């Protein structure tokens, strides 16, 4: 078998073997295949994948068991890809192309389950890390209570437009390239989606004075939180755009913030009116 034919076989079969990683870093895999095809290229990918996991671990956004399971899966993937790589090289050197068919069948049996496992874990990592990035934007200082009087009488639509403008302004790296406002899906006012690769979505519910003054506000909000989990979003932000100078509104806000805190649910993040005011003040 000529060197050119050998390279072609490597590319075709290794592409199949390494497709389990395509959902994580296709550009890395493609660059590896276009290069020498040496294991050093896959070691580089492996290091990048582990680096992503380590960053998620350092952020404290995933529990130790999940981190250990992901690392072990990546190590298994590394051993599997190395095994296939060596088998293909040996068969190529022995000029036994018919045996490559057996390797292909073996790959077809192993790859789907590996791909699903890697893909599910990758979605979890990306969903968690981008969720942390998004809620990090909302980690701002608090305005004075008196300043929240700005929210009195403000319509839903006006607040949605201001919040979307703020997200587009603060997202300097354009991580969240797809911002949809007004979908009213599961009570969501804004959907924020990551712009490239696997594209997790996050929802934002905006609650203005009119919403909060309703007698059944707390019950409706809790029902909406439960309902939103049925949709394909990885996190929910409750943006409380309320006038805290009104005693009745302030009392409800304090109560709902306490309820959400006691849920201890990483899926839900509530933004208090004082912080909401700091955010909106950037775009008015």
Domain borders along the chain are: 3-129, 138-283
Question: Which of 206, 207, 205, 181 is closest to 193 using CA atoms?
Answer: 181
Which pLDDT does position 18 carry in this prediction?
42
Q: Output b/e per residue, 66-82; b: 16+ Cβ within 10 A.
A: bbeebbebbeebbebbe
Which pLDDT does position 12 carry in this prediction?
41
Please give the span between the terminal C-alpha atoms of the chain, in angstroms, as a whole number: 70
Which pLDDT does position 29 carry in this prediction?
37
Here the tokens at position 283 are 């775009």
Q: What are phi and psi of 131, to 5 degrees?
A: -60, -45
Which pLDDT does position 86 carry in this prediction?
72
**CA 78 from centre of chain:** 24
pLDDT averages per 10-residue partition of the chain, 284 residues: 42 41 40 40 60 66 68 72 70 64 66 63 72 89 96 92 92 79 68 77 92 90 85 90 94 93 90 97 92
Which pLDDT does position 266 carry in this prediction?
85
pTM above threshold 0.85: no
CA–CA distance, 86 with 21 (Å, rounded to integer): 18
CATH of the domain spanning 138-283 = 3.40.1350
């Amino acid at each position: 078998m000529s060197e050119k034919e050998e390279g072609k076989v490597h590319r075709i079969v290794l592409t199949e073997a390494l497709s389990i990683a395509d959902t994580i870093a296709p550009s890395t895999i493609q660059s590896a295949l276009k290069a020498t095809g040496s294991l050093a290229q896959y070691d580089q990918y492996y290091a990048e994948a582990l680096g992503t996991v380590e960053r998620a671990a350092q952020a404290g956004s995933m529990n130790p068991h999940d981190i250990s399971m992901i690392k072990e899966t990546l190590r298994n993937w590394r051993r599997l890809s190395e095994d296939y790589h060596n088998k293909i090289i040996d068969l190529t050197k022995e000029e036994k192309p018919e045996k490559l068919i057996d390797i292909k069948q073996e790959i077809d049996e192993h790859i789907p389950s590996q791909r699903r496992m890697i893909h599910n874990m990758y979605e979890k990592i990306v969903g968690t890390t981008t969720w942390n990035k998004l809620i990090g934007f909302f980690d701002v200082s608090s305005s004075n209570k008196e300043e929240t009087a700005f929210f009195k009488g403000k319509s839903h639509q006006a607040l949605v437009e201001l919040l979307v403008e703020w997200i587009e302004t603060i997202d300097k790296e354009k991580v969240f390239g797809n911002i949809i406002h007004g979908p009213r899906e599961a009570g969501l006012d804004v959907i924020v989606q990551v712009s490239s690769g696997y594209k997790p979505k996050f929802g934002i519910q905006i609650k203005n004075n009119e919403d909060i003054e309703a007698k059944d506000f707390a019950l409706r909000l809790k029902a909406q939180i439960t309902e939103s989990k049925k949709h394909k979003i990885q996190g929910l932000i409750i943006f409380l755009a309320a006038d805290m100078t009104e005693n009745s509104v302030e009392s409800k806000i304090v109560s709902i913030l306490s309820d959400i805190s006691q849920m201890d649910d990483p899926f839900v993040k509530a933004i208090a009116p004082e912080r909401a005011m700091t955010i909106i003040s950037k775009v008015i």
